[in-house]
Amino acid sequence: MGFIKAFTGALGGTFADQWKDFIVPRSDVPATAAIFGAERRGTDSGRGSNTKGSENIITNGSKIVVPEGTALLTFQDGAITGCVTEPGGFIYSSDDQNSQSFLAGDGFFSSTLKTSWERFKFGGTPGGEQTVIYVNLKEIPGNRFGTQAEIYWDDAFLGTQVGAITRGTYTMKIVDPILFAKNFVPMEYLRPGAEVFDFADMDNPAGEQLFNEVVGSLSAAFSNYTNDPSRGSRISKIQGDQIGFAQSLSQAVEEGYTWKSGRGLEIVKVAITAIEYDEDTKKLLSDVKKADALSGARGNSFMQQSVARGFQAAGENGGGAGMAFMGMGMNAAGNVMGGFQQPVNQQPQQPQQQTQQQEDPYEKLAKLKKLLDDGVISQEEFDEAKKKLLGV
């Protein structure tokens, strides 16, 4: 009992003439549908077609088409009697010795499905009437996730625990239609005349179940991503790395809920539409951003500008008679400034000779007091320069 291969690929003109009546997947299913029934299609020599409802029943001699991106499963008494994942046209026969119950071609599904087929196939002698369903093997879009409160994970780059509220969507794919149908889909969807098993259907409890499992796996997924050395351990890369984060999320749902090994489901791509960090994480990321900005040559340039602004402020706000007790020269501060201005791998240049023009020692001391208050020079440097200026 099984299927005889009539042709591979699309239904050609020759078979459109020969096959006056054949079975194809329902034409009214959305992209989010996973399991759906069949409809019987009639053709004429002008390649016209008409359809009529079907209760997903095939009998001996039925002609059936398996389009690209779909799998066909047949059932009897809740057990699988046939599986076809190879695109093409087939004739169902219950008595031909050349017919086969398992047709997966030489592609990915050939080796993947063999174990599942041996585990779930019908154990007796199937009858001549079978229930047929189609399984969507394409990417299933529009699956949403989101958290109402912060989730937390340990971040290797930041070196601490961080938290965020996040939202997004993901696409998934059925990689083992036998496991999916037997271990996840309720039997009510595998009977003749059953409704479409649609993940977008708000009344389908399976969609809600997957939503909750994905949300429950997000913390582990973020941890997988940010602690993976090959990805640079940077949380900022997640929103632009759909496939990379999908691999981390797929790993998390597999470890927590055995999506692939137990249900034949796999997450393919993830689009994070929003990440709202908690206040502690925002402050930490701000500090890291500043530290990044001050690293290397950019940091050296920034320090030079800061010291220059300190000198300018000191000159604009120099003290008068009330600061008379603080007169001194600028040598100490000049040495500090010169140290910042040297290239990283060069020795400091010798100080330039002092100009002939003498400056009032009290004004010098007032400027240096300003530098002391701004933290540009130390108390010890200020005291030493003061002694030199006052001659003590």
| Span 254-305, pLDDT tens digits | 999 999 999 999 999 999 999 999 999 999 888 887 777 766 555 555 556 5
Closest Cα to residue 241, out of 277, 272, 276?
Answer: 272
Q: Does residue 66 register a pLDDT over 80?
A: yes
> Which residue shows structure tokens 């994970």?
153
- Range in 84-98, 229-243, 325-339, 360-374 the model is least confident about: 325-339
What's the CA gap between 67 and 180, in Å, rounded?
A: 19
The structure's pTM equals 0.70
What's the CA gap between 244 and 240, in Å, rounded?
A: 9
pLDDT reported for residue 137:
96
Closest Cα to residue 335, out of 392, 391, 385?
Answer: 385
pLDDT reported for residue 313:
56
Mean pLDDT of 202-210: 89
pLDDT reported for residue 364:
78
Strand partners, 133: 73
Going by pLDDT thresholds of 50, 70 and 90, the confidence category of residue 43 is low
